[in-house]
Structure 1
């Protein structure tokens, strides 16, 4: 029987049921193929092994028969195929285990394949969000956090803005319809931040009664 590792979640992608006044506006996951290419550098890895195979062929083609020269180059292609297969599998597993959630109060990110964690980012913690949009409509929304909010780059990877290690920027990586999601996120954040926080005045009668 198939087993759902996240069957314990009361709501998909969230460790607990949200409050009654919190509304889920959008949920999604990375496109696994885009994640493999952009986050795991699949094309660069494939190109590297192709280069090694061609270089090996050029070096030996003048000193041995053509067939033998091709045979000595093939192992590099085999190793490249294995490496690319592993990277593709990692991207697929990461995408399958990831759920991004946008609500009217926060951005939640359930990330991690081996060690699953959920990041909760209230809109008041987010200073800015940048969209990196691709031609096929997929894109990455990176969020700059405010104040003393510190996140581990390694713990969040690959769901981060690449190479921003001093101040880690969590990111919704390689999501479909990224422009639409970015617009939704912007409107939700603006609406939430514009709502004044209500603080209760101290109950003087209660204090006096003590």
Structure 2
């Protein structure tokens, strides 16, 4: 199989076209470009809510133990404050990284591929041709954003470390790329569904969707 039909990674210092390492080949056009929401990355990739809850519970637990040992209100409050201060540092660092990651990322859907430009320190482009995408799905969230989930067909693989946080959480052994926290996910899903269907010479079908709190993901009808 030619390299044009494989996922590829490339590093670059400049972009002739925003979000792309170079001009598109003749006959290929950009259908959609967008950036992820940094709040969506913070909540669902960095899991900041769970981390904040963990430190809050830890602080309350420490205060309860101190009170049980006869400590006064001021001493218990001081113990809580120390734990909360310890929690603020990693939460702030992860929130800052989420903001930087979102602002350094551009998702591009063309008539032939999906391109993810990411990298806080050094821009890197991940090229995912339609030929290696087995299915796609969309997960919608209460904040109005959504995740476009991509299934890469074997034997092709995407590096989890290179693409994170633009991969499905906890899928390290078999990484699943995603366009994370995109605005207007239904519109993006339909654009991608039509592009996949057109590339595969299939009738246009809508990409299947699910609410974020549903347990199972339904695969897209359009496949390449």
Cα deviation digits, residues 154-187 of structure 1 (max 9, x gap): 1111111122233221110111111110111001
Counterpart CA distance in 1 for 2:44 and 2:140 is 12
Counterpart CA distance in 1 for 2:142 and 2:15 is 35
Q: 2:144 matched to 1:137? A: yes
The alignment partner of 1:174 has SS state of: strand
Aligned 1:60-209 pairs, distance under 5 A: 60-62=66-68, 63-194=70-201
Deviates more, 1:116-125 or 1:82-91: 116-125
Cα deviation digits, residues 48-87 of structure 1 (max 9, x gap): 1111110111111241221121112111111112221111
Q: Which structure 2 residue ranges, 5 or more long, are not aligned?
A: 1-11, 203-224
1:45 matched residue in structure 2: 51
1:8 matched residue in structure 2: 14
Q: Which structure's relative contact order is higher, taking Cα pairs within 8 Å and 6+ residues apart? A: 2
Counterpart CA distance in 1 for 2:168 and 2:73 is 46
Deviates more, 1:105-114 or 1:6-15: 6-15
Counterpart CA distance in 2 for 1:61 and 1:127 is 57
Give the CA deviation at 1:106.
0.9
Counterpart CA distance in 2 for 1:19 and 1:55 is 60
The alignment partner of 2:125 has SS state of: strand
Counterpart CA distance in 2 for 1:136 and 1:51 is 25
Q: 2:24 matched to 1:18? A: yes
TM-score (norm 1): 0.85
Counterpart CA distance in 2 for 1:17 and 1:27 is 15
Q: Which runs of 4+ in 1 moved over 6 A?
A: none
TM-score (norm 2): 0.80
Counterpart CA distance in 1 for 2:174 and 2:89 is 34
Give the CA deviation at 1:7.
7.7
The alignment partner of 1:61 has SS state of: helix
Does the 8 A contact of 1:132 with 1:141 survive in 2?
yes
Q: CA RMSD in A?
A: 1.6
Does the 8 A contact of 2:59 with 2:84 survive in 1?
yes
Give the CA deviation at 1:114.
2.8
Report how many residues are paired.
190
2:218 matched residue in structure 1: none
